[in-house]
A and B are shown apart, each in its own frame.
Chain A
Amino acid sequence: MSSVTTLKYTLQLADNVLIMGQRLAALCGKGPILEQDIALTNISLDQIGQARSLYQYAATIVNNMSVADKAQLFNAPLLQEKINNKLSITEDDLAYLRDAWDYRNCLLVEQENGDWAYTVARSFFFDRFQYLLYTAMLKSTDSTLAAIAEKSLKEVQYHIKWASEWVIRLGDGTDISKEKMQQALQARWEYTGEMFTMNELEKEAYNIGIGVDVSQLQQTYQQQIETIVQEAGLQMPTAAWMQTGGKNGVHTEHLGYILAEMQYLQRAYPNMEW
């Protein structure tokens, strides 16, 4: 059923930007310098805003389904309960009531902030992917996804500029900054392969015309990354093995902690508003 595919695909897109935004939001008030603290928070808010648009769309799809179809969708008990009680689902429910195995974000975005170079490297790898993804998604036959992609692209353009310039700045900086940037690129590179490996859901979404064939983006991605890495005077990172799992719900140990913090209030005090 195509609406289930659209729903799951939309949730995967949303999970990526929500977890990335949540990671960067954790640096609010802790940035190395006021101006960059604000820059990070702006980027984080852009991403959480994109996540909101996507979750809102996902919630609309759920609410338009029959009760019988809805009951099949989620394992998370609190979501099940809402559906059984015939309550409509909101964007917040989708963010706060799903468990780690329901989340379909790629492993890259859940990785720790680490030092500044690690934070920059993760954004550098993710934002560049998002740019290519959203550009391809402009052609989606789903007009809502295409519209969200178009709106988000302007934001992502700034994100890649921010991250790329930091890679160049650190790579082209002192011996220490160069070494740290190189190390961070190397450490995070093994999480990039997953973004371009089509899972079953993405294949289905591509076949019905709403989704993007991410495997076709990889070559361009590599070239664009390499251009910046070279400009920074750094070595292109390598990986003998690419980590996968997040897109199928198999996460690193970090996601549970992120969700524990992010979802605490709604789980401790259900339906709390403030």
Chain B
Amino acid sequence: MSNEHKEWPLWEVFIRSKAGLDHKHAGSLHAADAQMAIENARDVYTRRMEGISIWVVESKHIHASNPEEADAFFDPAQDKIYRHPTFYNLPDELKHM
């Protein structure tokens, strides 16, 4: 055999659980196309009733923030507690907030 054997592309899998509102990242897998990726995800990640909806996206389409820039990206938010909505006086009529 030559080196013609090609790896299937990598896909990221997002699963929404029965109780959940949003799809959460579950992991990744290999598949030849989107349809196969969804079916593989069903077989690999929902065997124990983890979900009722699956999203897949090819990993190459995900753009990530640069870990080296993490300081500049995230640290400045640290001392801006006023951004949390904890300084408002809630009217008495408002419940369950």
Residues of chain A whose beta carbon lies under 8 Å from any beta carbon of chain B: 33-36, 38-39, 42, 158, 161-162, 165, 169
CA distance A165 to B31 in the complex (A): 13
A7–chain B nearest beta-carbon distance, Å: 33
Q: Are the CB atoms of A42 and B47 closer together than 8 Å?
A: yes
A156–chain B nearest beta-carbon distance, Å: 15
Known contacts A33-B8, A34-B30, A35-B31: A42-B39 contact under CB 8 Å: no
Q: Are the CB atoms of B8 and A42 closer together than 8 Å?
A: no
Q: Are the CB atoms of A42 and B43 closer together than 8 Å?
A: yes
B66 within 8 A of A: no
- Which chain B residue has the least Cβ–Cβ distance from A42? B43
A34: chain B residues within 8 A (beta carbon): 29-30, 44
16 contacts between A and B (CB under 8 A): A33-B8, A33-B30, A34-B44, A35-B30, A38-B43, A38-B44, A39-B39, A39-B43, A42-B43, A42-B47, A158-B42, A161-B39, A165-B36, A165-B39, A169-B32, A169-B36
- Which chain B residue has the least Cβ–Cβ distance from A40? B43
A24–chain B nearest beta-carbon distance, Å: 13
State which size class the interface on B falls in: 10 to 19
User: Hey, what's the 0/1 contact readout for B30-42 against A, CB within 8 Å counting as 1?
Assistant: 1110011001101
User: Hey, what's the 0/1 contact readout for B1-42 against A, CB within 8 Å counting as 1?
Assistant: 000000010000000000000000000011110011001101
Known contacts A165-B35, A169-B32: A35-B40 contact under CB 8 Å: yes
Q: Are the CB atoms of B35 and A35 closer together than 8 Å?
A: no
A39: chain B residues within 8 A (beta carbon): 39-40, 43
7 closest residue pairs by CB, A with B? A35-B40, A39-B43, A38-B43, A35-B29, A42-B43, A38-B44, A35-B44
B31: chain A residues within 8 A (beta carbon): 35
CA distance A92 to B36 in the complex (A): 36
- Which chain A residue has the least Cβ–Cβ distance from B32? A169
B49–chain A nearest beta-carbon distance, Å: 13
User: Hey, what's the 0/1 contact readout for B46-60 against A, CB within 8 Å counting as 1?
Assistant: 010000000000000
A35-B31, A39-B43 known, 17 other contacts, Cβ within 8 Å: A33-B8, A33-B30, A34-B29, A34-B30, A35-B29, A35-B44, A38-B40, A38-B44, A39-B40, A42-B43, A42-B47, A162-B39, A165-B35, A165-B36, A165-B39, A169-B32, A169-B36
A58–chain B nearest beta-carbon distance, Å: 28
- Which chain B residue has the least Cβ–Cβ distance from A45? B47
- Which chain B residue has the least Cβ–Cβ distance from A36? B40
A42: chain B residues within 8 A (beta carbon): 43, 47
CA distance A36 to B29 in the complex (A): 11
- Which chain A residue has the least Cβ–Cβ distance from B40? A35
CA distance A271 to B62 in the complex (A): 55
A79–chain B nearest beta-carbon distance, Å: 34
B36: chain A residues within 8 A (beta carbon): 165, 169
B45–chain A nearest beta-carbon distance, Å: 10
CA distance A160 to B33 in the complex (A): 19
CA distance A161 to B43 in the complex (A): 13
CA distance A38 to B48 in the complex (A): 13
CA distance A183 to B36 in the complex (A): 24
Q: Which of A38, A158, A161 has the most CB of B within 10 A?
A: A38
B39: chain A residues within 8 A (beta carbon): 39, 161-162, 165
CA distance A42 to B36 in the complex (A): 15
B40: chain A residues within 8 A (beta carbon): 35-36, 38-39
